[in-house]
Chain A
Amino acid sequence: MNAPAYNFAYLDEQTKRMIRRAILKAIAIPGYQVPFASREMPMPYGWGTGGVQVTAAILGPQDVLKVIDQGSDDTTNAISIRKFFAKTAGVATTTATAEATVIQTRHRIPERALNENQVLVYQVPIPEPLRFLEPRETETRRMHALAEYGLMHVKLYEDIARFGHIATAYAYPVRVNARYVMDPSPTPKFDNPKMDNCPALQLFGAGREKRIYAIPPYTQVVSLDFEDHPFEPYRFNAPCALCGAENSYLDEIVTDDKGGRMFVCSDTDYCEGRQAAGHYGSLSAAPYREKAGSHG
Chain B
Amino acid sequence: MTTIAELPPGFADKVLSAQSTFRSVMDAMARPGSVQRIVPMAGAPDTMMRGTAAIALTLFDHDTPLWLDARMAESADVTKWLKFHTGAPVVQDSSVASFALVGDGGALPSFESFALGTGEYPDRSTTVIVQIDSFTSGRGFELRGPGIDGVATLKASIKPFDLFERLQINEALFPRGIDVVLVADDAVVAIPRTTRVVSKGS
Contact = CB atoms under 8 A, between A and B. Distances in A.
A140 B194 CA distance: 23
Contacts of A142: 120
Nearest to B179: A28
A25 B98 CA distance: 11
A213 to B, nearest CB: 10
Contacts of A146: 119
Interface string B58-72: 111101100000000
A20 B58 contact: yes
B122 A21 contact: no
Contact of B26 (A23, A29, A141): A23
Overall SS of chain B's interface = loop
Contacts of B177: 28-29
A217 B61 contact: no
B18 A219 contact: no
A58 B23 contact: yes
Contact of A60 (B19, B30, B59): B19
B174 interface: yes
Contact of A24 (B31, B148, B179): B179
Contacts of A60: 16, 19-20, 23
A216 B59 contact: no
B22 A20 contact: yes
Interface residues of B, number: 40
B86 to A, nearest CB: 9
Interface string A11-42: 00110111011111111111010110000000
B149 interface: yes
Contacts of A217: 30-31, 146-147, 149
A109 to B, nearest CB: 17
Contact of B30 (A27, A57, A144, A220): A27
Contacts of B127: 24
Overall SS of chain A's interface = mixed
B191 to A, nearest CB: 10
Nearest to B15: A8
A7 B14 CA distance: 11
A117 to B, nearest CB: 10
A58 B22 contact: yes
A199 interface: yes
Contacts of B23: 58, 60
23 contacts: A13-B14, A16-B19, A17-B58, A17-B59, A20-B59, A21-B64, A25-B125, A26-B123, A27-B147, A28-B192, A29-B123, A29-B193, A30-B194, A35-B121, A58-B19, A59-B19, A177-B146, A177-B194, A179-B174, A201-B30, A215-B146, A217-B147, A220-B146
Given A7-B15, A27-B192, 16 more contacts: A24-B127, A25-B123, A27-B147, A28-B193, A32-B175, A34-B123, A61-B16, A145-B118, A145-B119, A177-B194, A199-B149, A214-B30, A216-B147, A218-B148, A219-B146, A220-B146
